[in-house]
Structure 1
Amino acid sequence: MAFAIQELGAQWGEKIPPLNLIVVQAGTQLPGHGADGVAHYYFDDGGAGMAANRKAYVQAAMAAVSDYGPKWDRVAQALGVDVLDAAHATRDEGNPIELPAVPTAYRPESSAYKALKAWVAAHSEWFEDYGAFEAGVNEHRLSSGDSLDAYFTNGRESLAVEVKASNASDAELMRGIYQPIKYRAVLRAECIALRKLALCDAVLVSTPLLGKACRPWPSAHMWTSCVCVCRRKRRSEGTYPDLFAKLKISRLLVAEYEGGHRFGNDDNLV
């Protein structure tokens, strides 16, 4: 099927996304490595960078399969494949999730928020699963007019980071889940407009625990590749860091945060 789709695309003068990549493994939600070779045709570099950043390549191709939408009916017709009726079974989508309140007034940035986004931009090593980045920047402006809390790019891969500091409300945390979804979509649209491979992602870094309102979002990884939750451990557990995160890449992030009022006192930095 994959080779037939590749050949059909060549006849039509376009690159049809590799449909075989939608068959994924339960443990990783990614296709097996056997699918990589036949998918190389779809990428502008012939898949040359796939070994170094397989996940980004595969996710970009899987998104393209979804974006191809109703055009798949034309592909099926050209290949003589029957188009099946959509399943009519009721799918359990779980309980509805209340939308976050929309702020009506601008609030100035807190010192904790400024410190957190500056720290994130200076520590690209914690996001190496998304690319080999140097230090990032704060307030990168997207084509949509949005400004990113932190942004990393190496000219090929790019990563947007939304941060929520310890003083964020539940409604703000909820908005923090929606924002990376939007940022990733905008980054992908920019790449597509520039005729570049969409190797881009977006993540949330949050110092407070996600409250009850956010807990129905266990599958947020469907839209953002990683939701990184940083939290303070309980004092009863012994020594506790200011920031403690379990990343999706099975690594732990532990960091100590000192407020702006302590800058200049070297004793507090030891």
Structure 2
Amino acid sequence: MGNYCIPELYPFAYRELVQMVRKHIDDETPPLVTYGGMASRLTAALGRPGANVNHRHVGRVIGGMMEAVIDRYGSIPPINVLVVNAGDGLPGEGAHWFLEPEWCPNDWWLDASSAEKKALIKDVWDACRDFADWDRISGMFDVDAAMDQSWEKQSGSKERDGKIRRLCGGGPAESLEHRRLKFYLKAHPEQCGAPAANSKGRVEYRFPSLDEADVRFSSRHHVRIIEAKSRISDEVDLRRGLYQCIKYQALAEAEEKEKETGQSVTTALAVENLKPPRAISDLADMLGIEILRVDRDLVDEWGDLEENEGWQHDGTASVTVLEAVK
């Protein structure tokens, strides 16, 4: 089913609807979202390449989510009726299962006029605004775990760079291994092919396109972009990293051209393992991408979160020049 299954979307649907309530808590008018709009939000929250949630499945997602909540917590405001058709601004026919008999008489919904249905949705919205237990109910939906499982199902890799979450509010959290490598590289410009004396390093550098590079070094005459892949990256993720390098090279060149800085740009993929697979090395040669091999022991010696709070380099780690894979 489009590289996703209905139940795995329940946590994301609940979060999206509750966030909508919080955002519009002071509004008298119900903040409705269309089935197509909710499908787009679920797609972004899922963060799985190739998994585009079909708007025809949204009714099953929000309905199944509500049934799960009711089974555990009993009656709550039917927040799912805030999802509506784009044409008439009303929820689908299945809404009556969650409205009858508490909110309207049995069989009332199917025969009511549009104006009557919208008035009822306004009553539901008022109840959603007054309901105080949305946070308590959210405990049954582990969104972070759902994001992590979604990523691992997509790629088979435990490596997570956290970019989708930072840019879109969805997607898996960044893995500890990736974050540590990223900040290690920032603290060691000389190992990344950037001048150590006068290079300013930044992590999570965001281009005007909203694409995000792991590390960017800038000196007077040169910009150096580094894409980081940690020790837990698999071949699929390394291949993705090579193509990210191509994209960042083009974006950085365009940005410097617009700024008229005259700075040259180079890009490299930094990998934290002994040697990339032959297929990755061959592809890098074909695409003209430099691969830098990071000694994982040096990263470990540099320290962990407790030793380098905020992932700032403490200046004690030994330094060796990375080997460039030719």
Scaled by the length of structure 2, what TM-score is found? Answer: 0.39
| Structure ranking higher in helix proportion | 2
* Greater RCO, CA 8 A, separation 6+: 2
Q: Rg larger in 1 or in 2?
A: 2
TM-score (norm 1): 0.46
